[in-house]
Structure 1
Amino acid sequence: MARVVRFHRHGGPEVLRIENVDPPQPGPGEVQIRVKALGLNRAEALLRAGTYIETPTLPSGLGLEAAGLIEAVGEAVTGLAPGDAVSVIPPQSMIRWPAYGELVTYPAGLVVKNPASLDWQTAAAMWMPYLTAYGALIDIARLRNEDFVVITAASSSVGLAAIQIANSVGATAIAVTRTSTKKQALLDAGAAEVVVLAEEDLEARLRRIAGPRGVRIVLEAIGGPIFEPLAAAMSRGGILIEYGGLSSEPTPFPLPAVLGKTLTLRGYLVHEITGDPAKLEAAKAFILEGLEAGTLRPIIDRTFPFEQIVEAHRYLESNEQFGKIVVTV
């Protein structure tokens, strides 16, 4: 038997339960992992609440990131063996491949051997933020060293990964945050500039920072009224990549800026990278190289034990964290 986290109804963190199940052995092409740490993501809170892009059959497991030791391998698995320290690439479906458990099973193609320098918590905090930021900035936007890139929700794990990736290619990372509480931490994390929404005019400040060239790339997770000042500060031919939707307010379409500057507004899911083998291999190489060089390093805000998964989800929804929340098993 092994412990897993499941929910039998949609709702707040309190619906999460730790239950004992009898995990199946890995099938052909699969790997069973004894989990040491989990990385938490907003998507898991959305699935639990019933507002995610997937609709689960209840009871449902959840979770997208895990790191641990290989317990067993199925037939036709090569290059991986029991005892290997590994981490998991976020799957296309966390309903089919949930990560919250002591023993989890994944396709071997989504399992990566950890660099020796990584501890369990760092390994569990790695793939979702860096794959998301890489796909948007490098694969889609072709980020260059002369670019100004605006990063909203900058204190999230994806936002901090984006700052590090921008710095690694020599671009100028402009972090956007709601209040000044996290301003110094964002500067310490590598942001060249920080714009505080509660205290500054976003468009005017971005124009002062970027000058006549304007902002070519926006990595956006909020939506809502912020769209208009962001678009107004962008350069001709710029691209705004939307990967979230944290705002509950309507999102206006900035028609004058889009037409006048021939802007691209693009929705984006990390599945575009994880579902394409060639793109995934390029992303893995970029991220592992950055980890080895020290230019990329996940920032972990707080660690909870497995038994406190409800408290970990409450903290996830508090917006107080700076970086990744990790659960140890």
Structure 2
Amino acid sequence: MPRVVVFDEFGGPEVLHIVDEPVVEPAAGEVRVRVEASAVNPLDSMIRAGTSPAPVPLPHARLGVEATGVIDAVGDGVTAVRAGDPVIITAIPDSWVRGSHADYTTVPASTVVPRPAGLDVAEAAASWVGFSTAYGALVEEGRLRRGQRVLISGASGAVGRAAIQIAGELGAVPIAITRRSAKAGELRAAGAAEVIATDRDEVADAVRRLTDGAGVDLVLDLVRGPGQGELVAATRPGGKVVAAGFLDPRPAPDSADGSVEVVDYYGFGRLSDPAVVARMAASLNAGVSRGKLRPAIDTVVPLDDIVAAHRRFEAGAHGGRKIVVMH
């Protein structure tokens, strides 16, 4: 019988366990996906721990917001995809009901896109959250253009690495921020034009030095918290800071610089717009086909080792790369 990862109480990875459940028939407008691989994301950790913004009903909550697989069945009225199509699931906002850490999940047909031919199963499972968040924040919200300089905090994570690649693909100049100077070579290899390591540099001073005092045009803030003030100080007048991450739960300071716009970006909100999803999918397909966009994968584990996968994530042993779970 198909396997499903569930948890009955909030807590660490040890609350996860696998149960057997029958498959569910897709309702009108839905598809059933035979999941081939899923990925572990920060939101999964928050949901499991009980710290996510949305309330999660217990017991028997599912988990997993990102996956790839093959359409197994379609509900009434679904014509855009058919059984046998390989797809990426673009969003599971109610993952505690439809979570992707399972052999099968049933989702609205509007939440799947064709899997890029240039990605293997593990890469496809690890692609959407990072690249769609980075694309949405940089392009849809930030309007990043060729030649502009973009500062990326939390650049060592999956979204940060994706943002470096997307910025480079657009012809912009990505400047990465990391906490450790030992990461500099790795981030340059990923496509960063410059790297600012906070264990040796002050962000605003380093940006002024790198931009001849002008500041950057756009900031992608994947950390938030008190450090956002430095990012604002590093932005040119008329520039923008797009806050799209939650790595630091402490409140960000109110900006005293009215010449810099600070906006919040929430990926699930944009993923409800089919036109935006189509642009994201087109960007991912084009970048993959040109060999410019590739997720960084840490390790691949079987679904039966889901607790170990989440423990590795909690320990930070993945180094910002994706942990992929094969089904």
TM range, normalised to the smaller chain?
A: over 0.9
Superposed displacement of residue 231, structure 1: 1.1
What's the counterpart of residue 327 of structure 1?
325
3-state DSSP of counterpart to 2:24: coil
Moved more, 1-10 or 314-323: 314-323
Letter of the aligned partner of 1:287 in structure 2? Answer: L
CA distance in 2, matches of 1:53, 1:249: 15
Cα deviation per residue 1:44-70 (whole Å; 9 max; x = unaligned)?
Answer: 100111111211111210111111122
Superposed displacement of residue 248, structure 1: 4.2
CA distance in 2, matches of 1:87, 1:248: 30
Superposed displacement of residue 315, structure 1: 1.6
3-state DSSP of counterpart to 1:224: coil
3-state DSSP of counterpart to 2:292: coil
What's the counterpart of residue 315 of structure 1?
312
1:131/1:273 contact within 8 Å kept: no
Superposed displacement of residue 35, structure 1: 1.1
Q: CA RMSD in A?
A: 1.4
Superposed displacement of residue 181, structure 1: 3.0
What's the counterpart of residue 232 of structure 1?
233
Superposed displacement of residue 302, structure 1: 1.6
Q: Which runs of 4+ in 1 moved over 6 A?
A: none
Superposed displacement of residue 23, structure 1: 2.4
Equivalences for 1:145-294 in 2 at 5 Å?
145-255=146-256, 258-259=257-258, 262-294=259-291
Unmatched tracts of structure 2, length 5 or more: none
What's the counterpart of residue 100 of structure 2?
99
Superposed displacement of residue 186, structure 1: 0.7
Equivalences for 1:55-66 in 2 at 5 Å?
55-58=55-58, 59-66=60-67
Equivalences for 1:72-87 in 2 at 5 Å?
72-87=73-88
Cα deviation per residue 1:150-207 (whole Å; 9 max; x = unaligned)?
Answer: 1111111110110001001111111111112322111111111111111211111111
TM-score by length of 2: 0.95
What's the counterpart of residue 121 of structure 1?
122
Superposed displacement of residue 82, structure 1: 2.0
Count residues with an aligned counterpart: 325
2:70/2:83 contact within 8 Å kept: yes
CA distance in 1, matches of 2:181, 2:214: 27
CA distance in 1, matches of 2:142, 2:88: 27
Unmatched tracts of structure 1, length 5 or more: none
2:65/2:93 contact within 8 Å kept: no
Superposed displacement of residue 10, structure 1: 0.5
Moved more, 9-18 or 314-323: 314-323
Superposed displacement of residue 250, structure 1: 4.0
CA distance in 1, matches of 2:298, 2:210: 29
Letter of the aligned partner of 1:295 in structure 2? Answer: K
Q: Say if 2:168 is the partner of 1:140.
A: no
Superposed displacement of residue 143, structure 1: 0.4
3-state DSSP of counterpart to 2:309: helix
Equivalences for 1:287-302 in 2 at 5 Å?
287-302=284-299
CA distance in 1, matches of 2:216, 2:57: 43
Letter of the aligned partner of 2:124 in structure 1? Answer: A
Moved more, 282-291 or 158-167: 282-291
Q: Percent identity?
A: 39
2:207/2:213 contact within 8 Å kept: no
2:188/2:195 contact within 8 Å kept: yes
What's the counterpart of residue 4 of structure 2?
4
CA distance in 1, matches of 2:249, 2:113: 37
Letter of the aligned partner of 2:134 in structure 1? Answer: A
Letter of the aligned partner of 1:327 in structure 2? Answer: V
CA distance in 2, matches of 1:305, 1:67: 15
1:91/1:274 contact within 8 Å kept: no
